[in-house]
Structure formats: C-alpha cells, structure tokens
Amino acid sequence: MSHPFEIAATLFAGLGLFFVGMKEVSRQLTRMGGSRLRNFVTQASANSAVGALWGVLSGFITQSGRTTSYLVASLVHSGVLPVHRALPVVFWANTGCSLMTVAAFLPTKSLIFMLVGLAGLSLAFEFPSRWRTVSGILFALALILFGLLLIKTGSSELLALSSAATLFEIVRDSGSIAFVIGTLLTLIS
C-alpha cells in the first residue's frame, strides 16, 4: 500500500496532465483552424454516418460538445455547411465526450504509454513535418488519457486506505453529500 502523500501526488499529477492535455488539444485545434479545418468538416459531414463519426471523434478529442457545436454553428452561419449536414456532427459529439470516460476504465495502460511515446517522439522530432499539428493533438490526447490513468491508479490506492474507505461509505450513503461534493469538484475543474 502506498503512503498517503504518494497517493495525493499521483492524483495531483493526474489532474495536472489531464488539464494540460485539455488545454493543448484546444491550442492545437486553434492552430489547425482556418480553411483546412473548414474543408475537412465540410467533407466529413457530406454523409450522415461519416458526420456522426466526425461528431464522436471531435467530442473525444475536444472533450466538449460545446466546442464542436460552436465550430459547426459558425460553419452553418457562414453558409459553408447546411443545417441538415451539421446535425449528426453535433448530436454525436457528446457520445465522443463520454468515450474518454470509458477509455479510462479499460485496461489500456500499455496503449496509453505507446501513444505518449509515439506522439511525443513525432512531436519532438517534427516527423513527419506536415503532420506536426496532428502529432500535437495526439500527444495532448495521450496526456489526457495518461492523466486519467494516474487518477484511476491514485483513486484505487486511496480506496485501500481505511480512513478514506470510511469517508467514501458516508458519501455513498448520502446522496446530498455526494451531490454537494460533485458540484464543488465540477466548479473547481
């Protein structure tokens, strides 16, 4: 069993990597923006099944249905994308957001490490150079997943502590306490 300070440090590191990854995904997508991104979204939404897949993928990458909605709304407003082609993208974005949670509970530790390594090396050595932004997005996703992995590891070790187990039993038995704690953590994040 780990020391409580190690557990707290693991959880803290996981949160840090998660939020840095989220910020970096946004930064890389902004860098990718402009006509290339517009053309890609327009082509991807030509077929509703592909548009749904694009929605899931964009939700997974950005971890925000709102970000996808804003992007698609701006394309609709500018006349680049018709509403009927934009709807599947927006509808399926939240599914992509929830896939990150599913990915955090799958036994993907080795895959996450490989993604961190490959995307990190690709980004560091700018190889291939024309995929630099994609490498940045993949590395940011890897940081998000690695952060979630650390949070999962720290949380499981935290549950092994008797004092924490007692606290979690109290929270589990009281819906109102769980709601208040969830609300506070949401506001903090």
Please name the helix (run of DSSP H) or strand (run of DSSP E) that holds residue 174, with its range, or none: none
Predicted local distance difference test score (pLDDT) of residue 35: 64
CB 18 within 8 A of CB 147: yes
pLDDT score recorded for residue 104: 67
Max Cα distance, the chain (Å): 59
Classify residue 80 by its DSSP letter: S
The residue assigned the tokens 């991807």 is: 44
Helices (H), the chain: 4-32, 35-44, 48-62, 65-77, 83-105, 109-124, 132-160, 162-173, 175-188
Please answer whether residues 141 and 133 qualify as being in contact, where contact means their C-beta atoms are separated by less than 8 angstroms.
Answer: no
Q: Are 84 and 118 in contact (CB under 8 A)?
A: no
**For residue 122, what are the contacts with CB-CB under 8 A and spacing of at least 6?**
128, 131, 135, 138, 139
User: Which residues, in sequence order, are CB contacts of 62 under 8 Å at separation 6+?
Assistant: 25, 26, 29, 68
Please state at what angle helix 48-62 crosses helix 35-44, rounded to 10 degrees.
Answer: 130
Query: Which pTM does this prediction carry?
Result: 0.65
Structurally, the chain folds into a number of domains equal to 1
CB environment 155-183: b (16+ within 10 A), e (fewer): eebbeebeeeeeeeeeeeeeeeeeeeeee
Domain range for 144: 4-188
pLDDT of residue 71: 74
Digit-by-digit pLDDT tens for the chain (189 residues) are: 578 889 889 989 998 998 888 888 777 766 766 666 667 666 766 788 888 888 888 888 777 777 778 777 777 777 777 888 888 888 888 888 888 777 767 777 888 899 899 999 998 998 887 778 888 888 988 898 898 889 888 888 887 887 777 777 777 788 888 888 888 877 776
3-state secondary structure of 37: helix
Query: Please, are residues 152 and 104 in contact by the beta-carbon 8 Å criterion?
Result: yes
- With both helix axes pointing from N to C terminus, report the angle between 65-77 and 35-44 in degrees, rounded to the nearest 10: 100
